[in-house]
Amino acid sequence: MIDDPDKADRLVDALEASLPIETRLSTCLIQTLSKRSPDEAIPARCNVVSVFYISEEGGIVCALDIGGPDTKTPHLVSITHLIFERKVSLSAKSTLSAPSHREAQTAGTPQRPMAA
């Protein structure tokens, strides 16, 4: 098992309690999202507005506020592709260690940005 279900639930609860959470997008993620939504400007910073745990294989997925509430293409990405500031509220600070834990356990497995 990659994820501890109790830890994953606690992390999702902490993230939801801290929404919205400002994040930076990696260059790779910006490029991927730009290809999927060529008519939409993809900013370097945005907010996480929803959080989902989609299984131990999929991990934690974040909905981004790119394009506003009327966007035609919602942007859902793996938390591992987001960069959080160390100044985020205490309940969200645990996100900084979650991706490295998951990446360590999936070493050798090809990773690519999740975008919907």
H/E stretch holding 28: helix 27-36
pLDDT on residue 95? 43
Report domain extents, the chain: 5-105
pLDDT on residue 107? 52
45-94 pLDDT, tens digit each: 999 999 999 987 889 999 999 987 777 778 999 999 999 988 766 454 44
2-44 pLDDT, tens digit each: 678 888 899 899 999 999 999 999 999 999 999 998 988 999 9
pLDDT on residue 1? 54
- Of 47, 46, 51, the C-alpha closest to 10 is 51
pLDDT on residue 3? 73
Percent of the chain with pLDDT over 70: 73
Q: Has this prediction a pTM greater than 0.95?
A: no
Indicate the Cα dihedral angle 26, 37, 35, 102, nearest 10°. 40
Distance CA 84, CA 58 (A): 20
